[in-house]
């Protein structure tokens, strides 16, 4: 199969026109010029050596003509772009990932690192959707799940700068309730950011919080655990341990149990470099392969015609040199 099939009849027409023009020119020369007669040439042409050389010369000319034809045909086929068609059903690896950040004052520095790591991760996404929800005494959806990666990177950069400047007051809408770091309510808000219909997509939530809950919450941790389980959301909890805190501080049992029961993981990190390991784990395991609509794919296949043209050209050069000798 060729992409530009119209080139084949066009080339054939041109070849016929060239051959016909050459034949007409030879006829005019043969009709217009008187042959030159040389006496006693039959003695020369009857010699066995002469006849052998004449036959070899004619064979070389015929081989040159055949090589030239093959070279022209191969060149025309290459110009027509030979292709192979195949029906392909691509499999797309899709994830839905919600970044859920506790934006209380103590988390600003850590959140900056999390956002930086997510910005790097987004550069390798293809089909994954990412969302961002922040919470303190109240939760705010910064942007819903989307695959507009340029928009995502711009938003992440804006929040990175906010966290770097510790501009907590600029995180509008997160201080509308009583208390601080209301983790159960924040996680529930993040979970509700996923659509109810999974559509074959895997769901992951990365929760970064110091779990310093201050004030009454609308939901209990057990209720939030049931919510994420019902929605098939894997929770990857990040529990940072800051330098000024007691190394013997107890890990939050409810958050650990939520991550474990959801199929995710609980991480207690002493430095922000661990975020990269968490994201690598999500990228490696939380994958849903979706079969997209089948489409016809064309592959260029010029190899055989290139080889044929090269062989014909080499033969033509060798034969031309032999004829000249």
pLDDT digits (tens, 9 = 90+) for 197-236: 656 678 888 888 888 888 888 888 889 989 988 888 888 8
Note the pLDDT of residue 39: 63
Is residue 2 very low, low, confident or very high in pLDDT (cuts 50, 70, 90)? low
Note the pLDDT of residue 188: 92
Q: Is the pLDDT of residue 36 over 70?
A: no
- Cα–Cα distance, 201 to 126 (Å, whole number): 13
The CATH number of 91-291, from 3.40.50.410, 1.10.260.40, 3.40.1190.10, 3.40.50.2300, is 3.40.50.410
Torsion angle of C-alpha atoms 150, 153, 159, 164, degrees rounded to 10: -140
- Cα–Cα distance, 237 to 287 (Å, whole number): 19
Which tops the pLDDT comparison, 174 or 102? 102
Query: What does the block give as tokens for 196?
Result: 């109810």
Q: Is the pLDDT of residue 244 over 50?
A: no
Note the pLDDT of residue 187: 92
Domain range summary for the chain, segments of one domain joined by +: 7-16+46-84+301-325, 91-291
DSSP codes joined into one string, 215-274: S--SS-HHHHHHHHHHTT-EEEEEEE--TTS-TTPPP-HHHHHHHHHHT-EEEEESSTTH
Residue 28 CB-density burial (10 A; 0-12 exposed, 13-18 middle, 19+ buried):
exposed
DSSP codes joined into one string, 25-36: HHHHHHHHSPPP
92 backbone φψ class: left, alpha, beta (φ>0; ψ -120 to 50): beta
Note the pLDDT of residue 131: 92
Give 73's contacts (C-beta < 8 A, 6+ positions apart).
none
């Amino acid at each position: 199969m060729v992409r530009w099939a119209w080139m084949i009849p066009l080339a054939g027409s041109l070849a016929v026109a060239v051959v016909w023009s050459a034949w007409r020119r030879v006829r005019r020369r043969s009709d217009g010029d008187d042959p030159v007669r040389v006496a006693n040439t039959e003695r020369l042409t009857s010699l066995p050596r002469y006849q052998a050389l004449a036959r070899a010369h004619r064979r070389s000319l015929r081989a040159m003509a055949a090589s030239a034809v093959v070279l022209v045909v191969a060149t025309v086929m290459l110009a027509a772009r030979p292709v192979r068609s195949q029906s392909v059903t691509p499999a797309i690896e899709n994830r839905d990932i919600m970044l859920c950040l506790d934006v209380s004052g103590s988390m600003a520095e850590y959140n900056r690192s999390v956002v930086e790591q997510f910005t790097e991760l987004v550069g390798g996404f293809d089909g994954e959707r990412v969302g961002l929800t922040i919470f303190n005494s109240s939760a705010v959806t910064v942007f819903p799940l989307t695959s507009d990666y340029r928009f995502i990177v711009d938003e992440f950069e804006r929040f990175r700068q906010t966290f770097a400047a510790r501009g907590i007051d600029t995180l509008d809408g997160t201080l509308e309730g009583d208390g601080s770091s209301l983790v159960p309510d924040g996680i529930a808000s993040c979970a509700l950011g996923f659509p109810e219909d999974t559509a074959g997509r895997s769901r992951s939530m990365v929760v970064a919080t110091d779990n310093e809950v201050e004030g009454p919450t609308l939901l209990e941790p057990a209720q939030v655990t049931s919510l994420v389980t019902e929605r098939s959301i894997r929770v990857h909890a990040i529990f940072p341990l800051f330098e000024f805190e007691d190394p013997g501080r107890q890990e939050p049992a409810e958050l650990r149990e939520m991550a474990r029961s959801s199929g995710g993981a609980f991480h207690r990190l002493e430095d922000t470099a661990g975020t990269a390991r968490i994201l690598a784990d999500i990228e490696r395991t939380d994958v849903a392969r979706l079969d997209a609509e089948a489409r016809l794919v064309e592959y260029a296949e010029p190899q055989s015609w290139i080889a044929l043209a090269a062989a014909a050209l080499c033969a033509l050069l060798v034969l031309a040199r032999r004829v000249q000798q």
